[in-house]
Amino acid sequence: MIRVLLDEDIKAKSLVRQLREAGFDVVTTTDLGLDGRTDSEVLLRATEGQRIVMTYNCDDFRVLHKIAPNHSGIVLVYQEKNKRVSHSQMVRALQNIINTGDSFEGILHTLNHWVF
C-alpha cells in the first residue's frame, strides 16, 4: 500500500476520500499538525513516516528534492489555468505510476505526465 502525505495546499476532503477509496494510506498536514510548517519540515515528516508528499507547491519541492534527495518520494501536481487535473485524474495518475513498477523512493514525479 502506498502511503501518502497531502501537503497543505492539496488536502481537499474529496481528494482524501477518493485516494482512500482507491486503497491509499492517506494523511494530511492537518492530521500531523504540520499546517503552517516549512516545506522542509513536511518533507522530513513524510520521509520519517515513509510517505510520498503530494503537492501543488511544485517550485519549492523541486528545490527541496535537489537539496535533500533521500526522501520517500515527491509528487508534483501542476494546475495550469486551462489544464486543471481533477481529483479523480490524480488518483488514476498515481495508479498509473504504480502500475509501471516505477519507484517513488528518492524520485520526483510530475503527476501531470501520468494523466492519460
Q: Which residue has the cell 501536481?
A: 77
Binned at pLDDT 50, 70 and 90, residue 11 comes out as confident
Kindly report whether the global pTM for this prediction surpasses the value 0.85.
Answer: yes
| Mean pLDDT, the chain, whole residue set | 94
User: CA 102, CA 115: separation in Å to the nearest integer?
Assistant: 15
CATH architecture of 3-114: 3-Layer(aba) Sandwich (3.40)
Helices (H), the chain: 13-21, 39-48, 58-67, 87-100
> Do 97 and 114 contact (CB within 8 A), yes or no?
yes
> Can you tell me whether residue 27 is helix, strand or coil?
strand
- Mean pLDDT, range 46-65, rounded to an integer: 97
Q: Is the pLDDT of residue 81 over 90?
A: no
